[in-house]
Structure 1
């Protein structure tokens, strides 16, 4: 009888896709991730469906959009009757464990009934508040405070290796949720391990940050240092699996909840429709994913839960709103959406789609992001031609030359909203502007994947 594969989710917080070598970062921050992406399956065009912590996590745990689960902003606990990955894996005979940041409960420590079904628990609801870079404090199954030694990434990695060692005789599902490279809230800083920030300060700046600045001159060195230590943690996890002869029996998924735009698009770091907020590094390694290559289809965070269940041989629930990428990995003929759908909350109530070439986003000016999960009326806010403007520096919303493009994208956005259970809204056109020499045609709106 074939052994069920172990599954490890290596989940980072607020990590941009272009921190990785396979996405062109020249600093050598992620050799372990890069090797994993080359040898396994690299989801090259991977996007969150909610660029803020709690809602994104609800999508990854449940396989449904945040408006479906009800967790459309931070501070809304995951409903206790909502089934998660932990429930499905446990029902299939897996031991389940959670280590790190949860952000889906209503209190700290997180009581057993708000842990999403995970059995082994060493976590904090909001890890950035319960801990600091060299003061890692989480809570165990009995809600007792546990202080772990070392830099926070290392402390969590140590705990994960202990879990793997103790559970190697049975199939396990381990969700390892780091806070890095998220900022430390009380200091609004990115505390890297000692010596790392200096190594990466003023080395390489992505083009969008080079053009727009924001807080990147202050923060990018520390941010990169945190990414480097995370990758070293990934390497240690893989070393542990190799030493225990578990490499061939273990699926590893690396992904993040959202990106970081360093205060260039609004007053903080995320909660916008720009790629700097929504595009994340993602790769899968292990049984079913080896030599999967680089997939160029657009994949959403909500697609990862059905993918993991599918890869483990567990039936994917019919109410999950994502879809497994395994048919793409296997090069099977499958209809795949031409766009990813994004819901935005907290900064404002917004919706967006992102295609291979276009970004189209709308905002509800009359909705209150604290109380309203959606709206019946939106206004066009952003339109980017990602072929001509990959760093999203020129907003084309309202340009007369792009009216037919915007109208087609509007229809596609409304269709996606209805598909996930929202009412079809009214979307008002952006104020008309002259586009100068810019020209476009509707044929450009549907560029097929090459």
Structure 2
């Protein structure tokens, strides 16, 4: 029996934008159906809440600071390999259909298939635009067109054309080992969908939590700058209504349903992974969109493993997992050669033990929203550690954050200076600093350890830990050499002085 893995992802989709995560107001029956024979992860996290960097981790198994793509419009470092390249090296068929965002170009991409993926099925957003007339290109970027006349036909949309190609790939490869990615842009703006979908949500009010009223006291300065005048608004009757976003959300669910129908017809024994790159604040904490925060609304993402390889139905896993775990899981599933530099952990164990705990902690980060933009707060170096209960956020340029998500799930009370949780805070801090070292974070240094609340911080030193951390070789690389001798290193991590 062939080994097959289908990964389906969306863009800008919070967990509470899905029925299976508890929001009965969201019409998402196709995604919800994956839970019938699968595992819903309730504590899954993106590596960075921005499109490109999030994908960089999903498809390399390395955090953005390690793979080079730490901001939108920054391509992967030249020696970093994607999962497509790794599986092609193992003679497994690969297909990538949809938004890529890792070539260093603009939002739409270059239209050129990168190494490791089947060019026959490659179809990014630039390919979609190149098929359109000038008029239709402009229509495809103007959500207002939805309300004009009959609006859009499903067949016009990027989502529909991605689904068509995915269905063709599944049919052609039904008897072969394969790995397929279907990466939708929806429900990301401009929310293009047939009119009937946003009409479903014209009067719908998205459920809000208490953090809609967050005054941002004792919160990072850049959150207050981000909020702007909204920080002073009276929100006693504030309503969250985004029919275009929620309509696009239900539309992409229907397109995912088309792919799932093909999967159940031709490859019913494949393993399915469904996730999204990040969420959206939707006015929580008086801020919008995504970017330089580590609030649950944007880093906590949907994550479902489904299919006959999963030994469990309607199972909920309540432990933290990360997008950094995806590549190790895929390699493990195909019994492919592992890479020692991978920074996540395989989730294969949960196929047989669906509630198993894989990670004690996961990590998220932020550097910059986009190289091309002067806006979005500019450079905001942030590192975050999340356990099953606590979250510590280091905002290098301003106030740090600590939240007890068991007692304070909406992150209203910053405990960073609270004596009662200082031991927990400091232990998380040590773990976070160690992770920055082990993952060769290029932005690491003594300033991350010397925080105002860390009373036992070591003195500043130019040589910091004095460690050298060289790269372990990949399958097509030679071993790096020691600077002092010119000879191949015998171990990658060693004391420099």
Bin the TM-score by the shorter chain: 0.7 to 0.9
Cα contact 1:202–1:217 (8 A) shared by 2: no
Q: 1:363 corresponds to which residue? A: 395
* 1:207 aligns to 2:209 (yes or no): yes
Contact 1:102–1:126 (8 Å) recurs in 2? no
Pairwise CA distance, 1:75: 1.0
Mark the CA change 1:41 to 1:192 in structure 2 (over 3 Å): closer, same or farther.
same
Separation in 1 of the partners of 2:406 and 2:109?
47
Please tell me whether the aligned partners of residues 97 and 173 of structure 1 are also in contact (alpha carbons under 8 angstroms).
yes
Q: Residues 358 and 122 (structure 1 numbering): CA distance in 2 closer, same or farther, change over 3 Å?
A: same
Inter-partner Cα distance in structure 2 for 1:127 and 1:295: 37
Match of 1:394 among 413, 428, 437: 413
Matches within 5 A, 1:35-434: 35-107=33-105, 110=110, 112=112, 115-120=114-119, 121-124=122-125, 135=140, 149-184=155-190, 190-200=191-201, 201-207=203-209, 210-211=212-213, 217=239, 220-244=242-266, 246-248=267-269, 250-265=270-285, 268-271=288-291, 272-291=293-312, 293-331=315-353, 336-346=358-368, 347=377, 348-365=380-397, 380-422=399-441, 423=444, 425-429=448-452
Q: 1:329 offset after TM fit, Å?
A: 3.2
Q: For 1:286-325, what per-residue CA distance to the aligned partner results, in whole angstroms no more than 9, with x for missing partners?
A: 2422416322220000101111221222232222111111
Query: Contact 1:103–1:126 at 8 Å: present in 2 too?
Result: no
Which SS does the other structure have where 2:123 is aligned? strand
| Separation (CA, whole Å) in 2 of partners of 1:125 and 1:57 | 17
**C-alpha separation in 1, matches of 2:354 and 2:197:** 44
Q: 1:17 to 1:11 in 2, by over 3 A?
A: same
Contact 1:101/1:127 (8 A) holds in 2 = no
- Indicate the structure with greater strand content: 1
Conserved in 2, the CA contact under 8 Å of 1:362 and 1:427?
no
Change (3 A) 1:134 1:280: farther
Q: Which residue of 1 aligns with 2:474?
A: none
- Separation in 1, partners of 2:129, 2:416: 37
TM-score of the superposed pair, with normalisation by structure 2:
0.72
Gaps of 5+ in 2: 142-153, 216-226, 231-237, 369-376, 456-497
Please, which moves more after superposition, 319-328 or 114-123? 114-123
After superposition, the C-alpha distances for 1:186-221 in whole angstroms (9 at most, x for unaligned) are: xxxx44431322322433324256546989956532
Aligned counterparts, 1:18-37, within 5 A: 18-37=16-35
Q: Distance in 2 between matches of 1:205 and 1:122?
A: 36
Q: Do residues 11 (structure 1) and 9 (structure 2) align?
A: yes
CA deviation profile, 1:375-405 (whole Å, cap 9, x unmatched): xxxx552221211211112223323443333
CA distance in 2, matches of 1:116, 1:19: 34
Contact 1:104 1:125 in 2 (8 A): no
1:46-88 CA-to-partner distances (Å, cap 9, x unmatched) read: 1001111111111111101111111111111123432111112
Distance 1:332 1:105, change over 3 A: closer
Count how many residue pairs are aligned between Structure 1 and Structure 2: 399
**Deviation of residue 38 (structure 1)?**
3.2
- Give the stretch that moved more between structures: 272-281 or 35-44: 35-44
Hey, what's the Cα distance between the residues in 2 that align with 1:321 and 1:287?
28
Q: Please, what is the CA RMSD of the aligned residues?
A: 3.2
Quote how far apart the aligned CAs of 1:106 are. Answer: 2.9
Structure 1 residue ranges, 4+ long, deviating more than 6 angstroms after superposition: 125-134, 213-216, 332-335
Quote the Cα distance in structure 2 between the aligned partners of 1:101 and 1:427. Answer: 40
Larger Rg: 2
Equivalent in the alignment of 1:139:
none
Task: Give the TM-score, by structure 1 length.
Answer: 0.79
